Every structure is written in structure tokens, then in C-alpha cells.
Structure 1
């Protein structure tokens, strides 16, 4: 196997494996929290949905991509490509939307309580569920065009204005469809990224003001610790997303300027666009006390459990 192919395959394999393990661990930790406490805080509910969307993204994009890199062919037929590409587009859209929702929710939580804002804060837990339903419905409708352009790879050359994903092709038929699709996706993503940057900047401003107000007041500082940690987690997730989003879109803009996209360029975009989904769960584990405690508890109990099962077999 060629050295470049090997490096690419190992990179995708590590990224996919780490991402699936990390996101699955966070989901199981939250499942245990729900089982023990019967409820989740609004921020934890949003984080749980974000992790689910990222896991869905990895399963529908990185898993088949990794298999293709290692030489597996004819993984999907036309119907399979339509389902996988549609699911990936929804997962990717949900990832940016939910990250934005997380940032806006945290900004509203930290904002100074006025008459109107106090009522809004009281309504936030009840609004989370309908917001998720709306995001799913909107993104399913926006991404509905993706299946119509998705086909299984054909023998021979790749037509112009086609995204060669390796395991599937997205054939836009003409330049107009190709550009309209790219511009529509980019405008949606930039709108949500702009909103999350604005809300994250507001969070940082509020944290700065709050730290000055409670300086020297130990009790107030301790009570604000949980909100401060949650806010810092949200801001860091936003920064992480924006960095990889920037790299992703630089490559995407280049892809819109050429008729035939090199598989190497497409692979680079897939890798960087999936880095957020692979790395974010580990940051959530390290910064969220509830999740971290459940993960550590599960790791500590795993070895004694194995030993007990072995002794029972004996």
C-alpha cells in the first residue's frame, strides 16, 4: 500500500475510532445521569443532542470514508448512497445549529435578569424540546435535495461538477446546481457561526463583568463557579468549531471554483470537518463534572466486573 494512502487511512481510522468511542461514552454517561436523576439541565440536554448529532456524522461520513481509503469498493448502491448522504447532511447541519443553540442558551442564562428576561429564563427548559424538533424539521427540509444528486460510483471517469466522496458521488449535473448548493450551505453555516460568535462574545463580556463584581466575595464566587465552568465549556466548544469550520470552508470555497475536485482535496475537507465531532466529546468529558464522574466510575468498575465474571465461570 502506498505511504500516502496508509497515512490517510490511519488518520481516518484514528479519528473515526476516537470520535465514536468519545461520543458513545458521553451518551452513556448522560443516560446514566437521566436514570439516576430523572432529568437533565437544559445545557446538558443540548450537549447530549450535540453528541448524538456528532456520532451520527461520524457513522455516516467517516466510517464509509475509512473503509474506502483501505480499498473496500462498492459499499453502497444508489439507494444506500441517498440514505447515507442525506443522513450526513442532516447530522452536519444539526452539529452547527446545536452548537449555536448551546451558545445562545448559555448567553441567555448568564444575562442580567430583567422583567422580560426573567420570564424567558423561566421558559427556557420548556423551549428546549420544541427547539430541537424545529431544528430537525428545518434541516430535514433544507437537505432534501441531497438524495436526488447522490449516486453510487460508476466505472470510468468522474463527470464534471461532481463531488467524489469515494464511496458515493454527488452529481450536480451542471454548474448552476453545483454553485447554488454550495452557496446555500455556506450561507446557512455562516449565519449560525456568526450568531454563535456574537453570543460567545457576549458570554465572555458577562464573565468579565461578573468576575469583577464578585471579586473578594468568596461565597458569591463559589456559587458562580458552576455557571462559569459551563460558560467556559460553551465558549471553548464554539472556538473549536469555528477553527475547523474555517479550514473546512476555505477548502469548500476552493472546491466551488473547479469543475473536477481531486479526491485528495475532498478527503482533506472530510478530515477537518470531522475533527470537531471527534474532539469535542473529550473536551466535554474533561470539563463537565457529571459526565467525567460517570466515565471514571465506569472505567473503575470495568476491571473488577471482568474479574468477577471470570471467577463465576471458574
Structure 2
């Protein structure tokens, strides 16, 4: 294995390790929170599903890319490759879907009480869980089209040299039917979700700016001012969603370049692999760094473990 393959392999291995540990601790946090409180806030519920989607991406995409970088291309069978692609697509679809739901829900939450969204503020939390479950069912069904189609389609070995991707477990040659399905079932919904994310982010920025202006007269040299919990939560979500949009946009651009180039360079393909792994791997660090409730609840949990007689106030 050459030095460049070793460098890429080590970077993706680092991303995968950090991502698995971060998502594991975040999922553990939500499980502990649910165990003690028997319910989750709507935002925490969405973040739990987002974490699960990112975990699927890391386990499927990260492992296959590590094997590619270290030259272990024959480790998984063809069926295993198709299953890995299926898991990647489900995780990617749920990741952007959950991010969109999170951004739109937070925009509804902080909207003024006098706005036209007053009714949605009370109704939205009741249906978020159902909507997330329907998204999982929909994407599990829709994404299975591609593994079945690719397994039924016999691709001759001489045609494999025409594939536009150097990735292990890549989809291989594509035709008009597959391109049309991909555009209708994935590209168009993802573009729509991206527009909704941008709109809701812009809306939140405007609301937070107006709120800051309204409370400035309260702030004085004698009275300390602290941002409201909703404002802090909105800022955390803005950072997370902006982080997602940045790497998602870069990955989409690179994917388009790889699709249109007859012979994309080795570096272009692997840089795209690294960028596509950034949000699933490091998005949890953004949450843990900007959410004081995470560290506070971990402290309470540790204290409970050390003090068996301590009871949580209900």
C-alpha cells in the first residue's frame, strides 16, 4: 500500500473512531434521559433520530472506505456491498430529513406568539414522533429499490472499467432508468429539504436578531443578562445545521464532478469520501460542546451512580 492510501486510511479511521464514540455517547445520553424522565423533549427526540442516522452512515460508509484505503477490497461479498450501499442511502436520507425537521421545528418554536404559526407551535410536537417514524419506513422501502435493481442486473466484468467511481462497493454502471429513479426519489427531495433548511435558518437568524434588539434595553451595568434557553438552543441548532449544510453542499458538488467526469482523479474521490464523513463524525461534538444540558445530565448520572440513595425529584 502506498503512502497516499495510508494517509487517507488514517484520516477516515480517525473520523470513524470519533464518530462511533461521539454518537454512542450521545445515544447513551438520550437513553439515560428517557430512563429517568420517561419522555424526551421534541428537540431531543429529533436529535436522537439524527444520531441514529449518522451512526448508520459511519458504520457502513466508514468501514468500506477504510477497507478501500488499506487495500482490503475483497473482504466483503457483492451482496455485502449492496447491503452496505443500502444502509448508507437510508442513513443519508434520514440524516438530511431529520436535519430539516429539526431546523423547521425550531423555527416554529421560536416564532412570535402573534404570528400565523401560533397553531403550529402547539400541534407540531404531537406529530413529530409519528412523522419521523413514517420517514424511516418510507426510506427503508424506497432505498431497497437500488440493491434489488443492481443485483438483478448482470454487469459484465469488461463494463466495470467504465464505472465513474473508484470507491469500494460503488454502484457501478448506471443507466437511464436508475438515473431517473435517483433524480425523482432522492435528488429532488434533498434539494427541497435543503431549501427548507436554508429558509428556516434564515428565519431563526431574523427572529434571534429581533429578540436581541428587544432585550437590549434591559441589559445594564447593574443587571446581568443571560440568553433564554430557547435562544441558546436555537443558536446550537443553527451551528449544527450550518455545519451540516457546509459539508453536505461540498459533498454534493464533488459528487456532481465525479458523476460528470469520465475519469475522476483518485484524490477527488477520496477527498469526497472524507468530506462526506465529516458531519456524521463530528456533528455530535458540536452538540456536546454547545449543549450545557448534556454535561450537566452526565454529572447527575455519575452522582446517582456514586450515591445509590439519591433520588431524582419528580
Q: Which TM bucket (shorter chain)? A: 0.7 to 0.9
Q: Which residue of 2 aligns with 1:147?
A: 147
Q: How far has the Cα of 1:165 moved from its partner?
A: 2.3
| CA distance 1:157–1:198, shift in 2 (3 Å) | same
Q: Is the 8 A contact 1:150 1:169 kept in 2?
A: no
| CA distance 1:295–1:158, shift in 2 (3 Å) | farther
Q: Which residue of 1 aligns with 2:27?
A: 27
1:71 paired to 2:71: yes
| CA distance 1:156–1:2, shift in 2 (3 Å) | farther
Q: Which residue of 2 aligns with 1:169?
A: 170
C-alpha distance in structure 1 between counterparts of 2:86 and 2:157, whole Å: 23
In structure 1, runs of 5+ residues without a counterpart are 305-314
Q: Which residue of 1 aligns with 2:257?
A: 254
Q: Which residue of 1 aligns with 2:285?
A: 282
Q: Which residue of 1 aligns with 2:123?
A: 123
| CA distance 1:220–1:146, shift in 2 (3 Å) | farther
Partner SS, residue 277 of structure 2:
helix
Q: Is the 8 A contact 2:160 2:173 kept in 1?
A: no
C-alpha distance in structure 1 between counterparts of 2:218 and 2:155, whole Å: 65
C-alpha distance in structure 2 between counterparts of 1:299 and 1:66, whole Å: 35
C-alpha distance in structure 2 between counterparts of 1:143 and 1:242, whole Å: 22
| CA distance 1:297–1:146, shift in 2 (3 Å) | farther
Aligned pairs for 1:205-220 (under 5 A) are 205-217=206-218
C-alpha distance in structure 1 between counterparts of 2:160 and 2:15, whole Å: 27
| CA distance 1:84–1:144, shift in 2 (3 Å) | same
Q: How far has the Cα of 1:108 moved from its partner?
A: 0.2
Partner SS, residue 127 of structure 1:
helix
Q: How far has the Cα of 1:250 moved from its partner?
A: 1.4
Q: Which residue of 2 aligns with 1:187?
A: 188
Q: Which residue of 2 aligns with 1:160?
A: 162
Q: How far has the Cα of 1:268 moved from its partner?
A: 2.1
After the TM superposition, which of the residue ranges 286-295 and 113-122 deviates more from structure 2?
113-122
C-alpha distance in structure 1 between counterparts of 2:264 and 2:299, whole Å: 44
Q: Is the 8 A contact 1:104 1:199 kept in 2?
A: yes
C-alpha distance in structure 1 between counterparts of 2:121 and 2:105, whole Å: 9
Q: How far has the Cα of 1:239 moved from its partner?
A: 1.0
After the TM superposition, which of the residue ranges 13-22 and 248-257 deviates more from structure 2?
248-257
State TM-score, norm by structure 1.
0.85
| CA distance 1:300–1:35, shift in 2 (3 Å) | closer
| CA distance 1:238–1:115, shift in 2 (3 Å) | closer
C-alpha distance in structure 1 between counterparts of 2:36 and 2:129, whole Å: 21
Q: Which residue of 2 aligns with 1:202?
A: 203
Q: How far has the Cα of 1:162 moved from its partner?
A: 5.1
Q: How far has the Cα of 1:187 moved from its partner?
A: 2.7
In structure 2, runs of 5+ residues without a counterpart are 307-314
Partner SS, residue 232 of structure 1:
helix
State TM-score, norm by structure 2.
0.85
Q: Which residue of 2 aligns with 1:310?
A: none
Q: Which residue of 1 aligns with 2:9?
A: 9
Q: How far has the Cα of 1:65 moved from its partner?
A: 1.4
C-alpha distance in structure 2 between counterparts of 1:271 and 1:45, whole Å: 28
RMSD value, Cα: 2.9
Q: Is the 8 A contact 1:179 1:256 kept in 2?
A: no
| CA distance 1:148–1:161, shift in 2 (3 Å) | farther
Number of equivalences: 300
Q: Is the 8 A contact 2:247 2:275 kept in 1?
A: yes
